[in-house]
Structure 1
Amino acid sequence: MMKRILVTGASGQIGTELVSMLRNNYGKDNIVASDIKPSKDSKIVNSGPFEIIDVTDGRKIGEVVKKYKADTIIHLASLLSAVAEGNPTLAWTINMGGLFNVLEVARENKCVVFTPSSIAAFGPSTPQDHTPQDTIQRPTTMYGVTKVSGEILCDYYHKKYGVDTRGVRYPGLISHAALPGGGTTDYAVHIYYDAIKNKKFECNIQKGTYMDMMYMPDALDAIVKLMEADPSKLKHRNAFNITAMQFDPEGIYNEIKKHVPNFQMEYKVDPVKQAIAESWPNSLDASCAKEEWGFNPKYDLSSMTKDMLDKLNKKLK
């Protein structure tokens, strides 16, 4: 049971919404948001404690954990896939160095740790359809390499030191609250904004490229559900396949056109992002998450599209 929680990378796409939800659930003073620089989101800064943390500085993480007597660290700080491919050295330093520091602090202070993995942990030799929970993981991107390494490192800390580590392999995440930060699946967020603002969209992923996706409310619920789960029921821990829907750019485009009939889309494929997307699975098997801790997403493409357009219409007016 989480009581006092430190969230790293709190200004990112997941963190922005997660901090608000956790403060509603656990009390605003019990959720410490942190990031490498002050958040531009006044809601995060003004609704509870906020600390500046560079996750490559393990001493600072430890100071904040002790200061607030945190029992849980939700570690979200990382460089995402496309950005990481542009600077692999920095990606390794932040993604792996930061996680190592968090795990060391957790070991010393007996904290529970959640850190997200990703579909990027898989690669071209992974079974592409209904990808099993336990399968070949040979990614071809630095981001993917850090995610596989992170899963193994978290397993090591659990087995070697008894640190309660948990995680999920996130698909592409779609949110109306915060823009994504340089991932391969970002097109599936920007398409909604452009449908409302411009009535046209230039897609950087090729038609027929299927990827797993999830709406942010389901992604946030998954964190809380997994972290509140009975640890004796968890066989996998780091990290569970989860998914809610699979589509290619034409699928999301056609769904949006039901609500915005004059919406147009053309393709201008980004070769780097396309290569990354093609190395990932088409669909994941999430049966272990369902069996071990009751994962059950609420949104599909149709219900997500309706909600996204409703929320963005209000936001962008």
Structure 2
Amino acid sequence: MNPKILIIGACGQIGSELTQKLRAIHGADNVIASDINYGNLDVVNSGLFEILDAQDYSSMKICVEKYNIDTIYLMAAMLSATGEKYPMKAWDLNMDSLFNVLNLAKNKIINKIFWPSSIAVFGPTTPKENTPQYTVMEPTTVYGITKQVGERWCEYYHNKYNVDVRSIRYPGIISWKTLPGGGTTDYAVDIYHKALADNHYDCFLSEHTELPMMFMDDAIEATIKIMQAPPDAIKIRSSYNLAAISFTPEHVVKSIKSHLKDFTVSYEPDFRQEIADSWPKSIDDNHARKDWNWSHHYDLEAITNEMLTNLKSLANQNS
């Protein structure tokens, strides 16, 4: 029997692709998408859609009861770079939305939650190489603070109220289907767009800034895989480290130049450089690989090929 799923923040970068994948698996009628506006017409038009404010518990409860929802994927959040511009808005959105969903589960109105955390939970005092699952976490951004606090509340609600909440710490996510959403790792998406459009990119991080990254298809697969795992396989109820590959802007440029030899880049680090410098260079995700058989498929060359091929195809369709 298919679960009845509500995706909150379904028009965002990850939410939009997750919605389409879950609709393909469970059927469009079983996956209700929602967001604060009609931000992605592909999502809006491909199945049931509701306008929903993630900070409004009453509206969320009405929507859940209307569709008999048993599983929520909470994808609404204000990301790192945007959050630094609007710190209190970021705190309120990221925390209110999580408490609303956790309380729906605590009150037995829903059965299961997916809530994404991030490598932003780590900070400058965290070990940079192969950052372990259990380590020092002193985040320096509002986004990272909300995710770190959120992890603690997820574990608390599981231990105290037996809430089935599952989470992974996303690295930077790369996708050709949706535009970046205000994160520090956005350069790794934007650079492909600019390479094809302008043959040049002004990078807001320095060329040697190494960060953990992942192709969207791998991120979606991990999200679905952890939710499909039996409850006793999920040993960590705060959030799992998740990794695929790590690279620098310089690595991406070299990869793109193997396809577009005249591509050029200039490096003009801005406030996002300080954020990136506080994050890990690589992640140890052995717990996820062991507990629920996580594995990634895309390396940098495969990502570059996918990005350039599909963005070219989109440009040709729109011309």
Task: Work out the CA distance in 1 between the residues paired with 2:189 and 2:241.
Answer: 21
Partner of residue 309, structure 2: 310
1:191-210 aligned at under 5 Å gives the runs: 191-210=191-210
Three-state SS of the structure 2 residue aligned to 1:316 is: helix
Partner of residue 235, structure 2: 235
- Give per-residue Cα distances to partners, 1:181-207, cap 9 Å, x unaligned: 110000000000011111110000012
Amino acid at match of 1:293: W
8 Å CA contact retained: 1:73, 1:106: no
Three-state SS of the structure 1 residue aligned to 2:66 is: helix
Partner of residue 72, structure 2: 73
Task: Work out the CA distance in 2 between the residues paired with 1:8 and 1:2.
Answer: 19
Report the CA distance between 1:237 and its aligned residue.
2.8
- Give per-residue Cα distances to partners, 1:100-121, cap 9 Å, x unaligned: 0111112221320001000000
Structure 1 residue 281 corresponds to structure 2 residue 280: yes
Partner of residue 63, structure 1: 62
Three-state SS of the structure 2 residue aligned to 1:243 is: coil
Task: Work out the CA distance in 1 between the residues paired with 2:228 and 2:238.
Answer: 15
8 Å CA contact retained: 1:125, 1:138: yes
Partner of residue 175, structure 2: 175
Aligned residues: 315
Partner of residue 32, structure 2: 32
Misfit runs of 4+, over 3 Å: none
Task: Work out the CA distance in 1 between the residues paired with 2:115 and 2:62.
Answer: 20
8 Å CA contact retained: 1:2, 1:227: no
Task: Work out the CA distance in 2 between the residues paired with 1:118 and 1:212.
Answer: 11
The two structures, once aligned, show a CA RMSD in angstroms of 1.0
Partner of residue 253, structure 1: 253
Unaligned runs of 5+ in 1: none
Partner of residue 96, structure 1: 95
Deviates more, 1:106-115 or 1:193-202: 106-115
Partner of residue 160, structure 1: 160
Report the CA distance between 1:2 and its aligned residue.
6.0
Report the CA distance between 1:178 and its aligned residue.
0.5
Partner of residue 4, structure 1: 4
8 Å CA contact retained: 2:69, 2:110: no
Structure 1 residue 185 corresponds to structure 2 residue 185: yes
- The 1:5/1:264 distance shift into structure 2, 3 A limit, reads same
Amino acid at match of 2:153: L
Task: Work out the CA distance in 2 between the residues paired with 1:237 and 1:291.
Answer: 15
Task: Work out the CA distance in 2 between the residues paired with 1:59 and 1:264.
Answer: 51
Task: Work out the CA distance in 1 between the residues paired with 2:189 and 2:111.
Answer: 34
Structure 1 residue 215 corresponds to structure 2 residue 233: no
- The 1:2/1:187 distance shift into structure 2, 3 A limit, reads farther
Partner of residue 289, structure 2: 290
